[in-house]
Chain A
Amino acid sequence: MNRPIRVLSLVVFVLFLALMANLTYAQVARQTVLNERPENRRVTDARFAQDRGPIMVGNIPIAQSVPVKDHFKFQREYPNPALYAPITGFYSYYYGSTGLEASQSPYLSGATDQQVLEQLIRAAAGQAPRGAKVETTISAKAQKAAWDGLAGRKGAVVALDYHTGAVKALVSSPSFDPSLLATHDLKASQAAWEQLNKAAEKPLANRATREIYAPGSTFKLITAAAALETGYAADSQIDSSRYRLPNSDKVITGSCGGSKVSLSHALQVSCNPGFARLGAELGAQTLQEQAEAFGFGKRWLPEIGSAASRFPTGIDAAQTAMSAIGEYEVAATPLQMAMVAAAIANDGVVMEPYLVNRILRDDLSVISEATPSQASIAVSSTTAAQLRQMMVGVVESGTGQRAKISGVEVGGKTGTAVTDRVRTPYAWFVAYAKEYGVAVAVFIEDANVSASEVAGGRVSAPVAKAVLEALK
């Protein structure tokens, strides 16, 4: 019986060899493919379990990873959740991430080329990889002032350093708590996700950058800019009598202080018939080009993503007239309207807005630092100066008197967009403060006042003032 036993031994040897060869082959040939499968929880979990770097406002973290005793090892925390949610976004297991958590993820997780050496050194010392610190441009004080100013009302505030384009405040209200989505209790995160998506208040919507609204009379700044660029002057007299829209029964009225007023005065009192007629005269093409020179049609702030503001195309004279006063299908983000005020304050130069100031390693050495860059030139510096003068008039003796700060040159423009007869109007206010170098846009979606021209001035201007003062 020895010969069959020897044959059997040989067969068993081959079988075991096949086991080991297959295992080795599988590891060489399939490992990468398997690790890249989207269903592979080990890989997604490991990614979720990274010690991510913090997101900072000044010296205060607004998102940070703290060690916990579960298999994800680190829990993402948001110390001031609702206030900063539109900036940080969330970092969740099932729903991916948004905001800076998404756009800065390579830095936060330590996966960029600039961080390779550091991670190698840490690995050699037996330490887990750690991500970089992302320092935002936000001012905690201004952010707080904006949040308190909105006081829970639906709306948004964006403040910009108009010399550089740095975002100093970015608030969207109502907001949400990103911790609810970042929790390791995955069932709870699912429940929170459903609830946040169902909520009538739309807390996940970023009203500051990702939603567009009719800008109302704040758009008159763009119409005025287009007029000044095409030969008008601040004291040019314009026809401010009641205006019947071309080929339409609709008549636009408004008390503008006479049937002929200066352009400057028309802006000061936010004269609807004057600007509608002016817009129709200038034409859709001119208005659109002017709006685009201010940044309409582009998606700004890729760090958190934004919607492009819109000036409608292919419109007739009546629609052009309505568009010139910020109605019809004109729609803008609060960010865009802050950029309009900023460009006027910055001698007509539109600076590219940015939200991340620096990215730092653990030892505070700099991985990358923002450099302000010019996006476009919206108007000439003379036009800008005239517009500023007109905006100062609005605050000194027009509709925006509530934004007045003594001893400071503040220029502004109110806006009240009536979307329909039933809803309360949108209340806008855009402004700049020369001494502080800041421009701001305040947008309140449900201003609890009647649909009158003064809504923007009454409701939004005080918020703008508070934000400007916080940035002095």
Chain B
Amino acid sequence: MIVYRKRRGSEAVMLLFAIALAIGGYLATHLNIDQALPHEWPWALGILFALAGVAHLVVRIRIPYADPMILPIVMLLNGIGLAMIHRLDLGTNPVMHSGELQLMWTSVAVFVFCVVLIILPDYTILNRYTYLFFLAGIGLLLLPLLPVIGSEKHGSRIWIQLGNYSFQPAEIAKIVLAIAFASYLVEKREVLAKAGSRVLGIELPRPRDLGPILIMWLASLAVLVLQKDLGTSLLFFGLFVVMLYVATERGFWPIFGGLLFGLGAVVSYPLFSHLQTRVSAWLDPFSNYDQNYQVIQAQFGIAWGGLFGTGWGLGRPNLIPIAKSDFIAAAIGEELGVTGLIAIILLYGILVARGLRAALGSNEPFGKLLAAGLSLIFALQVFTIVGGVTRLLPLTGLTTPFMSQGGSSLVANWAMTALLLVITHHSRRPSGKASDPQASLASDTTQVITVS
């Protein structure tokens, strides 16, 4: 049996690196643009340091066995995102202040992160309210369709507007539905895994068990049709199908899900011009320069950045419309180069890998499913949005986790991080009542024996 060490010290050191890199980007931006350090830089450093410190301390006290890589990676992505949003602020005239707002939201997100750790040391309670979570999730998802508070921006009706504040409820719905799916599937997985007839070597489920996946399919289509949000629709359907597959271990489900997705795509493609626009922008952006301006500018930016980027503050990422949210990957590609963007992708990769590792390591099905689901949400978001920005796929409007401007997304992603960390804490914690863990044999120094 493996006994994990807490590794909180490593986490603290990596957090320092994360802060140094983020502050470094911020200072380099100012040095390159103004040839001077900003007056408020000690404040920025202090706030980031305090946020990281608080998060670290809460983790140390509440979930000491949590995975030590996850928090520093999240902090680093968040910090680089902050620096880039601030850099994009400086490129506008008059200078905008969305970086400060994002820092405020980061504080809120870290606060929520801590709250989750404090009130939920045992995540398994979440398993109890399956249908409540399910209803809440669907409700949140459809909230923007309500009159008055629902509002449409950039062609998608995915916002609610309350006074001066706007919010994307789908971001919160991500967590809520991941929990709902996990607890539902834990309960029903035996039934759903029951084989019906066998066709071409694939075990088909019983027809009546197709109900849930069809309901999710219709809900996703509703999001696509009514809210015109391809990304969210894809994310939730993909999440459900993959979690179904993980829960039942039946290869039939992803195949069936893929077919349903294909059917939905084929049927809706000719009906919705915004889908056709996305596909034409993907295949041949220059066929319509004005319409595909954003994608084209992102391509120009990444090409201009080249292998190593122009450097912080030295590129022209402000030429890309709404670079702060959906297209922050393009701004990174321009100023930090392909090398920098690949480094960011690798960070996400490690984050997802640690999440999936937590799923493998967890010793009870709800934790496994939830960890796999949360990791998949990160993976799908990064893949679709970075793939869309770099023209691997047609563009779908999703936020880049932790980096994009936007409070809802930031808070939701930090809350998901908290849940993941709690799961890792439970799986890495020594079982039984052992209060003092033994040191792992694996981390002992190898004895060197000289053979004469």
Contact = CB atoms under 8 A, between A and B. Distances in A.
Contacts of B333: 23
A187 interface: no
A45 B310 CA distance: 14
Contacts of B379: 12, 15-16
B213 to A, nearest CB: 16
Contacts of B368: 1-2, 5
Given A3-B249, A12-B379, A19-B387, A27 B338 contact: yes
B246 A8 contact: yes
Given A1-B247, A30-B299, A35-B304, A15 B359 contact: no
Interface of B: 242, 245-247, 249, 286, 289, 296, 299-304, 306-307, 315-316, 319, 333, 338, 341-342, 345-346, 348-349, 352-353, 356, 359-360, 365, 368-369, 372, 375-376, 379, 382-383, 386-387, 390-392
A71 interface: yes
Interface stretch (A36-44, A130-138, A226-234, A268-276): A36-44
A45 B91 CA distance: 15
Nearest to B299: A34
A6 interface: yes
Contact of A1 (B249, B316, B346): B249
A4 B319 contact: no
A43 B316 CA distance: 10
A53 to B, nearest CB: 23
Contacts of B346: 16, 20
A2 B358 CA distance: 11
Contacts of B301: 42
> Which of B247, B304, B306 has the most CB atoms of chain A within a 10 A radius of its CB?
B304
A31 B319 contact: no
Contact of A22 (B245, B372, B390): B390
B6 to A, nearest CB: 25
A8 B383 CA distance: 14
A26 interface: yes
B289 A27 contact: no
A37 B372 contact: no
Interface in A65-96: 71
A13 to B, nearest CB: 8
Contact of B372 (A8, A13, A15, A42): A8
Contacts of B316: 41-42, 45, 71
Contacts of B345: 16, 19-20, 23
Contacts of B338: 23-24, 27
Contacts of B365: 1
A162 to B, nearest CB: 51
B300 A22 contact: no
Nearest to B334: A42
A9 interface: yes
A8 B376 contact: yes
Contact of A5 (B246, B296, B299, B300): B246
Contact of B390 (A13, A23, A35): A23
Taking chain B's interface residues, is the majority helix, strand, or loop, or is none over half, making it mixed? Answer: helix
Contacts of A3: 249
Contact of A42 (B319, B341, B352): B319
Given A12-B352, A19-B392, 4 more contacts: A5-B356, A16-B346, A20-B345, A26-B391
30 contacts: A1-B249, A1-B359, A1-B365, A1-B368, A2-B368, A5-B246, A5-B360, A5-B368, A6-B360, A8-B372, A9-B353, A9-B356, A12-B349, A12-B352, A12-B379, A12-B383, A16-B345, A19-B387, A22-B387, A23-B338, A23-B345, A24-B342, A27-B303, A30-B303, A31-B303, A35-B303, A35-B304, A40-B300, A42-B315, A42-B316
A19 B344 CA distance: 11
A450 B356 CA distance: 97
A23 B341 contact: yes
A18 interface: yes
Task: Pick the 8 closest A-B CB pairs, nearest first.
Answer: A34-B303, A22-B392, A4-B246, A42-B304, A31-B303, A16-B349, A12-B379, A15-B383
Contacts of B349: 12-13, 16
Contact of B392 (A4, A6, A18, A71): A18
Nearest to A9: B356
B342 A37 contact: no
A1 B301 CA distance: 43
Contacts of A22: 387, 390-392
Contacts of A5: 246, 356, 359-360, 368, 372
Given A8-B356, A41-B319, A42-B316, A1 B306 contact: no
A195 to B, nearest CB: 26
Contacts of A31: 303, 306
A4 B390 contact: no
B376 A1 contact: no
Contacts of B382: 16, 19
B390 A26 contact: yes
A2 B352 contact: no
B356 A26 contact: no
Given A5-B360, A5-B368, A8-B372, A34 B300 contact: yes
Contacts of B390: 19, 22-23, 26
A23 to B, nearest CB: 5
Contacts of B375: 12
B331 to A, nearest CB: 13
A184 to B, nearest CB: 12
A18 B249 CA distance: 25
A12 B304 contact: no
B380 to A, nearest CB: 9
A1 B387 CA distance: 29
A23 B345 CA distance: 11
Contacts of A39: 289, 296
A16 B381 CA distance: 11
A4 B296 contact: no
B233 to A, nearest CB: 18
A4 B383 contact: no
A37 to B, nearest CB: 7
B359 A27 contact: no
A18 B382 CA distance: 12
Contacts of A13: 349
Interface in A89-120: none
Contact of B342 (A1, A20, A71): A20
Among A23, A34, A35, A41, find the residue whose CB has the most chain B CB atoms closer than 10 A.
Answer: A23
Contacts of A18: 387, 392
A24 B342 CA distance: 9
A27 B319 contact: no
Given A5-B360, A8-B376, A41-B316, A26 B300 contact: no
A24 B345 CA distance: 12
Greatest chain B CB density within 10 A among A15, A37, A42 is at A42
A27 B301 CA distance: 11
A26 B390 CA distance: 8
A9 B356 CA distance: 7
B347 to A, nearest CB: 11
Nearest to B189: A1
A71 B317 CA distance: 12
Contacts of A8: 242, 245-246, 356, 372, 376
Contacts of B376: 8, 12
B351 to A, nearest CB: 11
Contact of A19 (B286, B353, B369, B383): B383
